[in-house]
Amino acid sequence: MQSGVKSGVRLRRYAIMAMAIIAGLIVVGRITGIVVDWLWFSSIGYGGVFWTLLSTKALLFAIVFAASAGLIWLSGILAHRYARRVDISWPRAADPSATTVVAGDLVELVAPRIPWRSSIACAAIVFGLVIAASEISSWDLALRFVYQVPVGERDPIFGRDVGFYLFSLPVYVAVKNWLLRLLFCSAIVTVAVYGLRGDIALEQPPRTLSRAAITHGSALLGGFFAVLAWSWWLDRFLLLYGDNGVVVGASYTSVHVELPVLWMLVGLAAASSVALWINMRQRSYRLPVAVALLVFGSALVFAVIYPPLFQRFYVKPSELKLETPYIQHNIALTRQAYGLAQIAVKPFNAEPGLTLDSLQANRATIDNIRLWDGQPLMDTYAQLQEIRTYYKFLSVDIDRYQLDAGYRQVMLSARELEPALLPPNAQTWVNLHLIFTHGIGVVMSPVTEKSAEGLPFFYLRDIPPVANGGPTIREPRLYFGEGRHDYVIVKGNVAEFDYPKGADNAYTTYSGSDGVAIGGAARRSLFAWQFDDPNILLSGYITDQSRILLHRNIQDRVRTIAPFLRLDHDPYVVASNGRLFWIQDTYTVSQWFPYSPPGFGDGANYIRNAVKVVVDAYDGTVDFYVSDPADPLLRTYERIFPGLFKPLDAMPPELRRHIRYPEDLFLIQAQLYRAYHMDQPEVFYNREDLWQFPRELVGMDGESTASTMPPYYTIMRLPGDARAEFILMLPMVPSQRENMIAWLAARCDPSGYGKLIVFTFPKDRLVFGPFQIEARIQQNTGISQQISLWNQMGSRVIRGHLVVVPIENSILYVSPLYLRAASGQLPELKRVIAAYGERVVMEESLGEALAALFKETAQAASPARGTTNAPDARAREALAHYDRAIERLKAGDWSGFGAELDALRPLLEGLGAGRSDDRK
CB atoms inside a 10 Å sphere around CB 598: 14
- Taking the C-alpha atoms of residue 485 and residue 514, their distance in angstroms, rounded to an integer, is 15
Confidence of residue 866 (pLDDT cuts 50, 70, 90): very low
Q: What is residue 88's predicted lDDT score, i.e. its pLDDT?
A: 32
Residue among 590, 595, 627 at smallest CA distance from 611: 627
Give the H/E segment covering residue 379: helix 374-385
User: CB under 8 Å to 324, separation ≥6 — which residues?
Assistant: 681, 682, 685
Q: Could you tell me what percent of the chain has a pLDDT over 70?
A: 87
β-bridge partners, 499: 506
The mean pLDDT value for 607-626 works out to 97
Predicted confidence band of residue 104 (pLDDT cuts 50, 70, 90): very low
Task: Please state, in angstroms and as integers, the Cα–Cα distance from residue 290 to each residue in 267, 295, 303, 427, following that order.
Answer: 16, 9, 19, 72
pTM over 0.85: yes
The band of 889, judged by pLDDT with boundaries at 50, 70 and 90, is low
Backbone angles phi, psi at 252, to 5 degrees: -60, -45
Give helix 2-43 / helix 521-530 axis angle, nearest 10°.
110
Residue 507 or residue 822, greater confidence? 507
Peptide bond into 563 cis (omega under 30): no
pLDDT band at 95 (very low <50, low <70, confident <90, very high): very low
- Residue 234 in contact with residue 169, Cβ under 8 Å? yes
The average pLDDT across 658-677 equals: 96
Provide the pLDDT for residue 198.
80
The arithmetic mean of pLDDT across residues 813-826, rounded, is: 88
Confidence bin at 201 (pLDDT 50/70/90): confident
> How many DSSP H helices and E strands does the chain contain?
29, 34
- Looking at residue 21, its pLDDT comes to 75
* 426 against 19, higher pLDDT: 426
pLDDT class for 102, splitting at 50, 70, 90?
very low
pLDDT exceeds 90 at position 47: yes
Helices (H), 111-207: 116-135, 139-146, 162-163, 169-196
Predicted confidence band of residue 503 (pLDDT cuts 50, 70, 90) = confident
Mean predicted confidence (pLDDT) in 689-695: 94
CA distance 802 to 442: 27
Q: Is residue 541 packed enough to be buried (19+ CB in 10 Å), middle (13-18) or exposed (0-12)?
A: middle
Q: In angstroms, rounded to a whole number, what is the distance separating the alpha carbons of residues 378 and 411?
A: 10
Model confidence band, residue 703 (pLDDT cutoffs 50, 70, 90)? low
Q: Does pLDDT of 1 surpass 80?
A: no
Range 306-330 average pLDDT: 96
- 21 φ, ψ (degrees, to nearest 5): -65, -45
So where are the chain's domains?
Answer: 1-38, 44-90+104-209, 223-337, 338-361+686-853, 368-478+485-552, 558-659, 862-920
Predicted confidence (pLDDT) per residue in 110-143, tens digit? 555 678 888 899 999 999 999 999 999 999 999 9
Average pLDDT (95-121) is 59
What confidence tens digit (pLDDT) does each residue in 482-502 have? 998 889 999 999 999 999 987
Which of 190-199, 587-596, 770-779, 833-842 has the highest mean predicted lDDT (pLDDT)?
Answer: 587-596
Mean pLDDT of all residues belonging to the chain = 88
Q: Do 575 and 471 contact (CB within 8 A), yes or no? A: yes
Strands 756-760 and 742-747: antiparallel
Given a cut of 50, whether residue 267 has pLDDT beyond it is: yes
Helix then strand then coil, in percent of the chain rounded to 5, is: 50, 20, 30
Q: How far apart are CA 860 and CA 840, in angstroms?
A: 14
- What confidence score (pLDDT) does residue 862 get? 46
Question: Among the listed ranges 3-17, 248-262, 286-300, 812-826, which one has the minimum average pLDDT value?
Answer: 3-17
